Amino acid sequence: MKNLVYLVLLFVAFSAQAQQKNKNAKVNVEVNGNCEQCKKRIEKAAYSVPGVKSAEWHIDDKVLQLIINETKCSVTDVEKAVAKIGHDTKNVKANDETYNNLHHCCKYDRKE
Protein backbone atom coordinates (compact mmCIF):
# COMPACT_ATOMS: atom_id res chain seq x y z
CA MET A 1 0.00 0.00 0.00
CA LYS A 2 2.83 2.35 0.89
CA ASN A 3 4.48 1.72 -2.49
CA LEU A 4 1.21 2.50 -4.26
CA VAL A 5 0.98 5.88 -2.51
CA TYR A 6 4.56 6.72 -3.55
CA LEU A 7 3.82 5.66 -7.10
CA VAL A 8 0.72 7.87 -7.27
CA LEU A 9 2.60 10.86 -5.81
CA LEU A 10 5.41 10.36 -8.30
CA PHE A 11 2.94 10.23 -11.19
CA VAL A 12 1.19 13.41 -10.03
CA ALA A 13 4.52 15.24 -9.66
CA PHE A 14 5.61 14.35 -13.20
CA SER A 15 2.21 15.25 -14.62
CA ALA A 16 2.27 18.69 -13.01
CA GLN A 17 5.82 19.30 -14.24
CA ALA A 18 4.90 18.35 -17.82
CA GLN A 19 2.14 20.97 -17.88
CA GLN A 20 4.36 23.91 -16.89
CA LYS A 21 4.50 26.67 -19.45
CA ASN A 22 7.76 27.99 -20.81
CA LYS A 23 8.63 31.60 -20.00
CA ASN A 24 11.06 31.78 -22.93
CA ALA A 25 9.42 29.67 -25.63
CA LYS A 26 10.99 30.02 -29.06
CA VAL A 27 8.37 29.80 -31.80
CA ASN A 28 8.34 30.31 -35.57
CA VAL A 29 5.16 31.49 -37.29
CA GLU A 30 4.61 31.75 -41.03
CA VAL A 31 3.30 35.26 -41.86
CA ASN A 32 2.55 36.58 -45.35
CA GLY A 33 3.98 39.92 -46.41
CA ASN A 34 6.39 41.48 -48.91
CA CYS A 35 8.48 44.43 -47.80
CA GLU A 36 10.15 46.46 -45.05
CA GLN A 37 6.87 48.24 -44.37
CA CYS A 38 5.25 44.83 -43.74
CA LYS A 39 8.16 43.87 -41.47
CA LYS A 40 7.68 46.93 -39.28
CA ARG A 41 3.90 46.44 -39.12
CA ILE A 42 4.12 42.69 -38.34
CA GLU A 43 6.76 43.13 -35.62
CA LYS A 44 4.83 46.03 -34.06
CA ALA A 45 1.65 43.90 -33.95
CA ALA A 46 3.55 41.01 -32.35
CA TYR A 47 5.08 43.28 -29.69
CA SER A 48 1.60 44.63 -28.89
CA VAL A 49 0.73 41.26 -27.33
CA PRO A 50 1.69 41.10 -23.63
CA GLY A 51 4.21 38.31 -23.12
CA VAL A 52 6.08 38.74 -26.41
CA LYS A 53 9.75 39.24 -25.57
CA SER A 54 11.23 39.17 -29.07
CA ALA A 55 9.75 39.36 -32.57
CA GLU A 56 11.65 39.38 -35.85
CA TRP A 57 10.02 38.82 -39.25
CA HIS A 58 12.23 37.71 -42.13
CA ILE A 59 11.19 38.95 -45.57
CA ASP A 60 12.93 36.19 -47.53
CA ASP A 61 11.30 33.18 -45.86
CA LYS A 62 8.24 34.97 -44.39
CA VAL A 63 8.85 33.58 -40.90
CA LEU A 64 8.20 35.48 -37.69
CA GLN A 65 10.63 34.31 -35.02
CA LEU A 66 9.22 34.83 -31.54
CA ILE A 67 10.28 34.43 -27.96
CA ILE A 68 7.16 34.44 -25.81
CA ASN A 69 6.20 33.91 -22.19
CA GLU A 70 3.59 31.17 -22.47
CA THR A 71 2.19 32.07 -19.06
CA LYS A 72 1.11 35.46 -20.48
CA CYS A 73 0.24 34.72 -24.13
CA SER A 74 -0.03 32.03 -26.76
CA VAL A 75 1.06 31.73 -30.37
CA THR A 76 -2.61 32.10 -31.33
CA ASP A 77 -2.74 35.48 -29.56
CA VAL A 78 0.16 36.70 -31.71
CA GLU A 79 -1.37 35.25 -34.89
CA LYS A 80 -4.65 37.06 -34.17
CA ALA A 81 -2.82 40.37 -33.61
CA VAL A 82 -0.95 39.97 -36.91
CA ALA A 83 -4.12 39.02 -38.80
CA LYS A 84 -5.89 42.04 -37.33
CA ILE A 85 -3.48 44.33 -39.22
CA GLY A 86 -4.00 42.54 -42.55
CA HIS A 87 -1.40 39.76 -42.68
CA ASP A 88 -2.43 36.12 -42.97
CA THR A 89 -0.73 33.44 -40.90
CA LYS A 90 -0.92 29.71 -41.44
CA ASN A 91 -3.72 29.39 -38.86
CA VAL A 92 -5.43 32.81 -38.78
CA LYS A 93 -6.56 34.77 -41.84
CA ALA A 94 -6.96 38.54 -41.99
CA ASN A 95 -10.39 39.80 -42.97
CA ASP A 96 -10.76 41.00 -46.56
CA GLU A 97 -11.40 44.63 -45.67
CA THR A 98 -8.21 44.92 -43.62
CA TYR A 99 -6.18 43.15 -46.31
CA ASN A 100 -7.60 45.44 -49.02
CA ASN A 101 -6.56 48.51 -46.98
CA LEU A 102 -2.88 47.48 -47.07
CA HIS A 103 -0.53 49.60 -49.18
CA HIS A 104 -0.25 48.22 -52.74
CA CYS A 105 3.34 47.00 -52.20
CA CYS A 106 2.22 45.06 -49.11
CA LYS A 107 -0.49 43.04 -50.85
CA TYR A 108 0.71 39.47 -51.13
CA ASP A 109 -0.84 36.54 -53.01
CA ARG A 110 -3.45 35.14 -50.65
CA LYS A 111 -3.90 31.39 -50.36
CA GLU A 112 -7.46 30.18 -50.34
Pair type for strands 25-30 and 63-68: antiparallel
Residue 104 has pLDDT above 60, yes or no: yes
Q: Tell me the C-alpha to C-alpha distance, in Å, between residue 74 and each of 5, 20, 84, 87.
A: 36, 14, 16, 18
**60-75, pLDDT tens digit by residue?**
999 999 999 999 999 9
**pTM of this prediction?**
0.81
Q: What is the mean pLDDT of the chain?
A: 90
pLDDT at position 43, please?
98
Domain boundaries along the sequence of the chain: 21-106
CA–centroid distance for 58 within its chain:
14
Residue 27 has pLDDT above 60, yes or no: yes
Architecture of domain 21-106: 2-Layer Sandwich (3.30)
Residue 6 has pLDDT above 80, yes or no: no
